[in-house]
Structure 1
């Protein structure tokens, strides 16, 4: 038998062998009654004798053959026995179970698929169709081969749009312009490949659908709802209301898909993940068919409108067992989208170290030999499974490029690559390049910064698992205020916090926020907060008193709208889920209502002489070349400069030395310090130098 190697698929070979016998009987029957059977041009034209024979009435079609039926029954019994141990051999039999096909449906499917499996069926079908150019089975030919009368309504219903074969996407009835019995039957290539034991994804779905590799579920628990969903998926069938659709409304993009994939992993089901921005409603039936062929569930998002909901509701409900479809999106579900209402669940973002650990182990990294705390290094990231995979791969690539063991810095670098760039339209991105060693602060302020890092890392546990979160729609954000004079280290401290958390720092540009038109400032701020919720980053509002100022008594329309702006910010800070830092030179200018909503307030004092000396030492540290005459102790005592001013003075001194072609001398340092005094309009200290 051409087209199949002996023994590759015993059940399919046996069924096609029985079909060939049916074809032979039908060919004999047609040849015995057709006077043009020996005509070499038969099928190319209609001879008068043939027309007269057709006018007198077609010959009766062969009825059901009891021997054929008994042979098919024996094959099915064998397939049911070997199905568990030899799934490939029993594929057509299992297909009937999954799609709810009767024995006649299976026969019709094999009749339609035969020319795609064995080319010798093509000329045979052309002969039986009385047209050598029509080498596929037609509705009439399929009924003849099945021994069914062409006028039987129940037999013709096998080819209706609502039939298991057509609704399940297993056969396509083409050529609608032809009479019903003359319409050709086509089996999609993906179904033929499945019959032959193939497992490749449907080519029509490439680009819009991916097959998610199975991943070990984390042992961590949380409020994401995946455990409840997994129990529902394991039970099979549908929800109590009869639907197999679930809509996961997510707090940030990707969260719903992550919860859905985790639930399928726990339930032990493979996942087909669809990008709804590329998935057209016309492709949904093929996607649902792919899920049935694989015994998989579907995860689709982000959902934008009801077109895909209606398509999934129709396709997923066809068949004896519904296909689970877990949809996700950020917007509320609209009941008008579909008559079939899904189960709607709210899901929140949460960090999960187990996913990072599992991905590192899957890629061959020795998780037990890591030189850092993996849970602490990844606690601030709220990534879904694909983002974790991409971040881990990038981290391992960077470590291999540097030929060093994997570090937390590599993971942070890989994670930062996963952030979208939408926030850069409204804020300036800073990739942290400083650490705790670069920070010169009193112990109390350093402790407060460490507390801020701790809050950011453990907010899911404290606010989520331990439920220390008040109501009113409050988010899980961490908001701090840094107050102090200019140059005391507020911005650098923000950068150090971001570096410790492995996040980028986004400095909000006030010029991109404040607008003279009423309501536009609030719109700009909403865009910033919405985009920040999508990222894992630290948001810095520098000179925050410009937008977080005190409310005043309403004396004119300007006061009224200024107060509306402050009221909006108060509400938005409470629902914020990210990490934000406000800096101000004048703490008294910040409204008390904002202060109450802050998690931490850190006051940055003006540096004392001991701290100023440490700042000078840090600013003029190697590789800056310095002369032996520099006296930093007297510089710190005589010049009362902030950290930022000391950095500027050191930079000026370095330029003077570089221009003279020598190391930095005491005279250069003095010149830089005096210039800082003149910039600030202050009197120079005594002439002791």
Structure 2
């Protein structure tokens, strides 16, 4: 059985042999220097065990590992006892392995011991435990010393013997307890709990061994969770001051900070700027779940701060686990307010600063020269992207421009920004990607001017209400609220789509069927989900047929009236704190509670179109339709009093009639379409009976 162990493995000094020393090998060389000292201690212990061993001449001893085989290994081990005379001098009892070693700047084990507060005994135990993972020659020797050739890792008893510490020492045994630094910090695993304590195997995690050898590849368990830290982008004066204050805190030593963010990404952006100002690196990790130990160990090994940009639904266990590491800086961010029940020791709780005025300077820095071909400020003002999303949007805009084969335009930036502002609103709303513009609206100057003012308010609300301090206070938000009132078909929904298109935002139409619930309190919960998500999303929210939700409160005559009034009261309070853009439409303005009207920024009345506007609507509808000559749209506008939606339906009907026969739209087709709209409305048709 001795043969398999007799061959000498390449010695640790073979690292880099035959080539000039490389700086990248420095950590490995520092670790191997420590192992050379450990070899001397192992040699001494083997000599001591061999003296007086009653089984030394037993032929069965070879089934495990013969003394001759062990001596052969010691002789053939390269530089086994460099600086060691075999007498045990320099490795006497009471001195930990490696105490003789003077750590150099590349000695990562010494640096780790300093950061983690490890004792000399801790360092020695780690070195003893990892030796077989670095040099195979330690395996058979450990097997011999364990009196079991199959147990080729260090055991608790062997480690204490090699350190010259009595195995009965309570203080020494306590260093291997689960709550002691080695195990608690994930630096050492004491395996086989079913065995007696002294015969339990010691294992150093592969990630620690790799780190000590100079490998900085993150732990495999974290690869799918780690995210790159975003590059800090230019910000306003208040945000910059906040970043410098936070940087000063981080420079002073390990800290735990919780940033409550208004919008997703604001906290990560603030942390990125603060870490850059403090000259530190961050280890950004999605919710680590069961890998907290690996995450904290990685932070200790690399000397980086742990950054968690979003917490799980139940954050208590995660916050407690991270806060229990006083030697690691932990930076947390989440939209929820901090709950003291999450952790017995509270972190520093702050509000994350948000971007204002669209972050034009940040966009310009992200786009570089690509921002020179269009009005950047007007394009990006509606967007409030935080964290790395702004930089990703800039990259996406360049990719879209390259796909189109031209320079970056405002359309590319808007499209990329909308993709980065992905929303969770779809569960209760229907998304519309606007494909219209101001040219598609046929309205009098009054309503048209109010719509343009609505878009203007949406663009500059942060400047007026924030920078110029014109907010009413009382926790009121910076939302923009508008009511569109008018008969069916007068252009209310189309106008909402045009406003969204002008702002470069998606339009989300609230599905009232998925919001209103017969159970008490459920409607409010559904609305809260919508408002909360809309606050965090760059989008326009449309409550079509808003009477069902924003209707007048009534006198309480029964339980139904009471709960209906509670819904209205909730909406009144929620609109006060709303930060997004919401539009309401109604066919009858009088159905909307007056308390809602007071909270609206604009009320736009959509009149029924007169003959001139109807003519413009007919011509607009026929603009892209192949039509026969001689169509008198003026007669249609004069004879048929139809709203814009009905005129469009009439044109669609005429287009289908023409397509069915493979020809152009004629005056008769349009006349038939107009008549059908009259019949659908239950009105008498001109030229037919009764007219």
Equivalent pairs, count? 645
Aligned to 1:483: 485
Distance change >3 Å, CA 153–CA 518, structure 1 → 2: closer
* Equivalent residue number for residue 51 of structure 1: none
Match of 2:590 in 1: 588
**Partner of 2:605: helix, strand, or coil?**
strand
Superposition pairs of residues 191-230 of structure 1, within 5 angstroms: 191-207=208-224, 209-222=225-238, 227=243, 230=246
Structure 1: state its 5+ residue gaps.
48-60, 84-88, 239-243
Query: Are the structure 2 counterparts of residues 681 and 214 from structure 1 closer, same or farther at C-alpha, using a change threshold of 3 Å?
Result: closer
**Structure-to-structure mapping, 1:647-666, within 5 angstroms:** 647-666=648-667
- The residue aligned with 2:550 is 548
Partner Cα separation in structure 1 for residue 223 and residue 153 of structure 2: 27
Is the 8 Å Cα contact of residues 481 and 598 (structure 1) preserved in structure 2? yes
What is the aligned counterpart of 2:102 among 47, 60, 76? 76
Q: TM (normalized to structure 1)?
A: 0.84
State the distance in 2 between where 1:184 and 1:73 align.
Answer: 23
- Residues 97 and 163 in structure 2, CA contact (< 8 A), matched pair in contact too: no
Give 2:533's match in structure 1, choosing from 518, 525, 531.
531
| 1:535-579 CA distance string (max 9 Å, x none) | 332110112123212223344444333322221111111122221
Q: 2: CA distance between counterparts of 1:618 and 1:681? A: 26
Deviations 1:191-246 (A, max 9, x none): 01101111111112233x304245134333456995266235433325xxxxx332
Distance of 2:189 and 2:174 partners within structure 1: 14
Given candidates 169, 188, 193, the residue that maps to 2:186 is 169
* Partner of residue 440, structure 1: 442
Question: Contact 1:211/1:271 (CA < 8 Å) preserved in 2?
Answer: no
Q: Match for residue 23 of structure 1?
A: 42
CA pair 200-136 structure 1, distance change in 2 beyond 3 A: same
Residue aligned with 1:432, SS = coil
| Structure 1 residue 156 corresponds to structure 2 residue 173 | yes
**Aligned partner (choices 278, 292, 312) of residue 267 of structure 1:** 278
Alpha-carbon offset, residue 323 of structure 1: 1.2
SS at match of 2:463: helix
> In the alignment, what sits opposite 1:619?
621
The equivalent of 1:288 in structure 2 is: 296
- Give the aligned partner of residue 137 of structure 1: 154
1:302 paired residue among 311, 317, 330: 311
Aligned to 2:109: 92
Output one character per residue of 1:447-480: Cα deviation in whole Å (capped at 9) or x when no partner.
3223222322333333334433233222222111
Distance 2:440 2:248 in 1: 53
Aligned partner of residue 195 in structure 2, secondary structure: coil
Partner Cα separation in structure 1 for residue 569 and residue 230 of structure 2: 47
Report the 3-state secondary structure (helix = DSSP H, G, I; strand = E; otherwise coil) of the residue aligned with 1:547. helix
- CA offset digits 1:327-346 (Å, max 9, x no partner): 33344433233222222233
| Residue-by-residue CA offset, 1:584-603 (whole Å, 9 max, x unaligned) | 22223222211111122222
Which of 344, 360, 364 is the equivalent residue of 2:349? Answer: 344
Quote the Cα distance in structure 2 between the aligned partners of 1:302 and 1:257.
12
> Do structure 1's residue 247 and structure 2's residue 258 form an aligned pair?
yes
SS at match of 1:523: helix
Q: Match of 1:65?
A: 91
Deviation at 1:498, TM superposition (A): 1.4
Native 8 Å contact 1:217 1:266 kept in 2:
no
TM-score (norm 2): 0.84
Q: Which moved more, 1:108-117 or 1:545-554?
A: 545-554
Corresponding residue of 1:670:
671
Instruction: Give me the whole-angstrom Cα distance separating, in 2, the residues matched to 1:517 and 1:150.
Output: 68
User: Could you tell which deviates more after superposition, 165-174 or 557-566?
Assistant: 557-566
Residues in 1 aligned to 2:400 and 2:346: alpha-carbon distance in whole angstroms = 47
For residue 329 of structure 1, the aligned residue among 317, 334, 344 is: 334
Pair 168,63 (structure 1): closer, same or farther in 2 beyond 3 Å: farther
Shift of 1:104: 3.6
User: For the Cα contact (< 8 Å) 2:650–2:673, is it kept in 1?
Assistant: yes
Within the candidate set 280, 289, 295, 1:279 is matched to: 289
CA separation in 1, counterparts of 2:558 and 2:683? 39
Aligned equivalent of 1:367:
370
What does residue 377 of structure 1 align with?
A: 379
What root-mean-square deviation, in Å, do the aligned CA atoms of Structure 1 and Structure 2 show? 3.3
Structure 2: where are the runs of 5+ without partners? 1-10, 67-86
Q: Retained in 2: the 8 A contact 1:11–1:75?
A: no
Is the Cα–Cα contact under 8 Å of residues 430 and 509 in structure 2 kept in the other structure?
yes
**Within the alignment, does 1:417 sit opposite 2:427 as a pair?**
no
2:252 is equivalent to residue 236 of structure 1: yes
CA distance in 2, matches of 1:214, 1:294: 18
CA distance in 1 between counterparts of 2:648 and 2:331 reads 55
How much does 1:354 deviate? 5.1
Instruction: Report the secondary structure of 1:307's partner residue.
Output: helix
In 1, the alpha carbon distance for the partners of 2:487 and 2:289 equals: 54
CA distance in 2, matches of 1:674, 1:342: 71
Counterpart position of 1:522: 524
Contact 2:389 2:420 survives alignment (8 Å): yes
Conserved? CA contact 1:217–1:265, under 8 Å? no
2:574 to 564, 569, 572: 572
Which moved further from structure 2: 219-228 or 376-385?
Answer: 219-228
Distance 1:182 1:663 in 2: 94
Within a 5 Å distance, the mapping from 1:451-470 to structure 2 comes to 451-470=453-472
